[in-house]
A and B are shown apart, each in its own frame.
Chain A
């Protein structure tokens, strides 16, 4: 998303990237980023915790207006938990430190649409028929 942010900003629209992967975002070097200490898959908060999610977005958007130097990443002080032991096992695949996956921690790169529900497939086929 850092590369996309750079491309958007180059057309004149300001951007901010949320990120839970600081090193990846630092390498891509987007104009503005807000770093959260969250496992991958939880960039915008804990599930079913609207107060946490709102606080995260408020901090990220407030930080956005504080950035004056292109390429800045602000740590907005959001943590998954005071217990940071999840970081020990976290990888960029399905083993995000919260859930453990055996073996290769990425799902196969399937070339067919991967629907959440089988009924979505029928709905999509009806819509495109």
Chain B
């Protein structure tokens, strides 16, 4: 491949599935323009909500399972990333378990709040499990669970930062 180009994971997955004798995976395709909510404050005055799909959980919580787990976990952001656990079927867990910030950058975001780069961090981050095979389950179960959690948050959120793996 041309190494200056991004890896085309859709094409790679199709090749991989084909080699295993599977039908091509039907990735979510949404050509219609997305909704748009304007940013009405600068970053330095904005409260950011972290949403990570790397399978993060905390001790005391039930860990995600690896078969289309559409649940979410609330993770307090006043705790260091070293207290965060991760579990996932589709990426190499060893580096993320060594430093969870690479999939759930809570330490870095707290530092950016402390130095004034970011206005604030929501008291809880939301963690979920990526790789939900069924697109409809991602849209009909996972997305509403995240929206419900956001609606119950006491803090106004100015920007949601989504970190997939």
A 45-64 to B, binary, CB cutoff 8 A, 1 in contact else 0: 11110100110011011101
Q: How many residues of B contact A (CB 8 A)?
A: 90
**Distance, CA A13 to CA B48, complexed state (A):** 11
Q: Could you say which residues of chain B place their CB within 8 Å of the CB of A60?
A: 161
Are A3 and B165 closer than 8 Å at their CB atoms? no
A 97-118 to B, binary, CB cutoff 8 A, 1 in contact else 0: 1110000111111111111110
**Distance, CA A128 to CA B51, complexed state (A):** 24
Q: Does B24 contact A (CB under 8 A)?
A: no
Of the residues B39, B95, B111, contact of A42 by C-beta under 8 Å: B95
Are A44 and B9 closer than 8 Å at their CB atoms? no
Q: Does B124 contact A (CB under 8 A)?
A: no
**Distance, CA A33 to CA B73, complexed state (A):** 23
Which partner residue on chain B sits nearest A121 by CB separation? B63
Q: Could you say which residues of chain A place their CB within 8 Å of the CB of B163?
A: 1, 18, 43-44
| Range class of the A interface residue count | 35 or more
Which partner residue on chain A sits nearest B107 by CB separation? A50
**Distance, CA A112 to CA B87, complexed state (A):** 12
B 113-147 to A, binary, CB cutoff 8 A, 1 in contact else 0: 00001100000000010100101001100111011
Q: Could you say which residues of chain A place their CB within 8 Å of the CB of B63?
A: 113-116, 120-121, 124
Q: Which residues of A from 1 to 19 have beta carbons under 8 Å from B?
A: 1-19
Of the residues A37, A64, A106, A126, contact of B159 by C-beta under 8 Å: A64
Query: Could you pull out 6 A-B pairs where Cβ atoms are within 8 angstroms?
Result: A5-B162, A6-B34, A13-B158, A27-B10, A57-B108, A65-B43
List residues of B whose CB falls within 8 A of some A CB.
1, 3-4, 6-13, 16, 20, 27-39, 42-43, 48, 51, 53-54, 57, 59-68, 85-87, 89-99, 101-105, 107-109, 111-112, 117-118, 128, 130, 133, 135, 138-139, 142-144, 146-147, 150, 157-165
